[in-house]
Structure 1
Amino acid sequence: MKYKFSGLMAPTLTPFMNDSEQKLSLGCIPQYAQFLSSKGIHGVLVNGTSGEGMSMTVEEREAATEAWAKAVKVTKQNLMVQVGGACLPDVLRMARHAEALGVDGLLCLPELFNSPAGEQQLVDYLSLVAAVAPRTPLLYYHNPPYSGVHVDMPKVLALAEKQIPTFAGAKYTDTDMQTGAHCLRVPNTSVFLGCDNVLAGAFALGFDSAIATTLNMVPGYGTAILDAVAKSDVARARQEQAKLTDAIFAISRNGGWVSTMKVAMNLLTDIDVGGPRPPLRPLTQDQVQQMKGELKGLGLL
């Protein structure tokens, strides 16, 4: 495997100030990294979907990357940085910047407006990104519900692994476990599950790594599921997945994924990540109170 990490990785939430401009608030990143490390989360993904990377300027994304690169030198966590979701010159700039900081891996969304017309066009695009960061493993960010890009993922992995020397795998944010299982069979690639609701089933199929938003605020469920599957304790894995699913429903019931997860982070931890950046909508006070009540009912507050 070209990517030297397996296990659980948190797609970090980007802290914004609660002001009219919602400027970055990166002072909490060392505390954030220490918190995740103490909970058994030994990898972080920066500037992904949960991190609102596509709503940030290049300078902001680079600043967030720098803050996390500094923090993980202390915690010894694996650092993956998402560089896609922008125009190609900016993507290449961020890839170069991340490699210069010595990050462990790059993750890249496809072009989001002029979407790739097939697997080979996508791999050719990824080749351009890999070329400017030749010492850093590159993974593809497969997230069709957000990107709208639907491709044959096993084919993408096989083509990219042959064409791109540094290609290392993908973040697979899809509940299609049949295709996911086929992805796991492509040699020399690492596939990270990106769906919190199916961790137990995916681990049972053979996934050994996940990048899941709930690892930020309720990491115990994810670590328990992975441990249970490793010990062939199916009943415990199901129980922990059911608890996690209940928590997800309580959190996400009244708003968008990122907006609700940021509220949950603020409620369940000492890390203040602020609210979401428009056009994402913040929750109303009534919605926050409802979430708080349901989380108390689940014993999380």
Structure 2
Amino acid sequence: MNINNLVAATYAPMKPDGSLNTAIIKSYSEFLIRNKVTGVFMNGSTGDFVSLSIEERKEITLAWSKTKSSDLYLIDHVGSPSLKVAKELAAYASDKVDAIAVLAPYYFKLDTIDKLVTYCKEVALSAPNLPFYYYHIPALSGADLNMLDFLKIASKEIPTLEGIKFTNNNLIDYLHCKNYENGKYNILFGFDEIFISSLPLGATGWVGSTYNHLAPIYYKIKALFEKGNMKEAAALQTKAIRFVEILNSYGGFNGVAKGYMKYLGIDCGPSRFPHTTPTPDTYKEINKELDKIGFLNLLSS
């Protein structure tokens, strides 16, 4: 299936004591659908997967699987530095979600395409009934490899290969992947701050954390681009960038943005170390800054 439109990289909702709060995932899914988000990328970087136990990751997978519908495509990130763990998570997800994804092992880093393909192939085989995505995020995984070269080999080795979650600003490599074998593979653009730059390259699907908060803005950017109104589209992209910069300035984007979901009606709770969750007074200051740039009426509802 070719995934189109916005896919939200979702948070791991937690109670005030830091334990999982999967009870809100049903309302979380309804919130995303209401804002025309077409899919979920769970247990990823935004979802603090490195701070979760294997059982907690499975609990999140199970909770999202109970919301499964034609309105929301579910991709479960099952990657781990341990190939054994990644395979276990893939097998667990095989009857619960629509697709799986993995990033490269990030402690003992992979330095060749062949090693990366071997890792991906092993995980994909653990859920042979599901489409498989490679999650390319070299800034965090350290696997700064050429994705066109990956596609050329992986396409022959991994029968279930569906595409790449491309979280990198190398637009040349992205374009080559997008065009490979006449656009056969679903290359999901994953760099929210340059969403607008992906549009002239033919991007049709995107994965990102800010699609939780700003889905209406990104759809407006896309509509303005299609009408040829680049000035207004760029102005909105700048506002989306300012949202990231403002929240990041209060202690780091991941934790602050997760806590901000409460102000959109979905209380995802606190973040785990090393991320921070600000106080309610801090969020009042954040909203003042967002209001100054005319932003509050543009947020997801």
Partner Cα distance (1:260, 1:146) in 2: 19
Residue in structure 1 matching 2:90, options 69, 89, 95: 95
* Cα drift, residue 284 of structure 1: 5.4
5 Å-filtered alignment, 1:242-257, equals 242-257=238-253
TM-score, normalising length from structure 2? 0.92
Unaligned stretches of 5+ residues in structure 1:
none
The C-alpha deviation readout for 1:138-159, integer Å capped at 9, x for no partner, is 1111111111221111111221
Q: Is the 8 A contact 1:9 1:215 kept in 2?
A: yes
Shift of 1:78: 0.5
Identity over aligned residues, as a percent? 28
Separation of aligned partners in 2, 1:61 and 1:81: 9
CA separation in 1, counterparts of 2:256 and 2:48? 13
Kindly provide the amino acid, as one letter, of the partner of residue 137 in structure 1: P
Any unmatched runs of 5+ in structure 2? none
Cα deviation per residue 1:37-77 (whole Å; 9 max; x = unaligned)?
A: 0111011111011111121111111111111111133x631
SS in 1 for 2:36: coil
Partner of 1:116: 110
Contact 1:65 1:98 in 2 (8 A): yes
> 2, 5, 28: which is aligned to 1:4?
2
Cα offset for 1:264? 2.2
- Does structure 1 residue 227 correspond to structure 2 residue 223? yes
Q: Which of 193, 198, 201 pairs up with 1:205?
A: 201
Residue 57 (1) aligns with residue 53 (2): yes
1:96: how far off? 0.8
CA distance in 1, matches of 2:269, 2:14: 5
The match for 1:281 is 276
Contact between 1:45 and 1:80, CA under 8 Å: does it hold in 2? Answer: yes
Select 1:35's aligned residue among 27, 31, 34: 31
Question: Which position in structure 1 is the counterpart of 2:15?
Answer: 17
- Could you tell me how far apart the structure 1 residues matched to 2:76 and 2:226 are? 28
Contact 2:259–2:267 (CA under 8 A) maintained in structure 1: no
Q: Which of 135, 139, 144 matches 1:145?
A: 139
- CA deviation map 1:213-269 (0-9, x unaligned): 1110121111212233344443342232122122222222222221121122222x1
- Do the aligned partners of 2:101 and 2:132 also contact (CA within 8 Å) in 1? yes
SS in 1 for 2:66: helix
Q: How far apart are 1:280 and its partner, in Å? A: 2.1
CA distance in 2, matches of 1:86, 1:227: 40
**Is 1:54–1:86's contact at 8 Å kept on the other side of the alignment?**
no
How has the CA–CA distance of structure 1 residues 281 and 299 changed in structure 2, closer, same or farther, with 3 Å as cutoff? closer
Task: Quote the residue 1:106 is aligned against.
Answer: 100
Confirm or deny: 8 A CA contact 1:17 1:25 kept in the other structure.
yes
- Residue in 1 that maps onto 2:159: 165
Distance apart, 1:8 and its partner CA: 0.9
1: distance between equivalents of 2:223 and 2:153? Answer: 33
For the 8 Å contact 1:228–1:236, the answer to whether it is kept is yes
Does the Cα contact within 8 Å between 1:17 and 1:23 map onto a contact in 2? yes
Normalised by the length of structure 1, the TM-score is 0.92
What is the aligned-residue RMSD (CA, Å)?
A: 1.7
Aligned length: 294
| 1:176 counterpart = 2:173 | no
Give the stretch that moved more between structures: 54-63 or 246-255.
246-255
What residue number does 1:189 align with?
A: 185
CA–CA distance in 1 between the matches of 2:12 and 2:114? 33
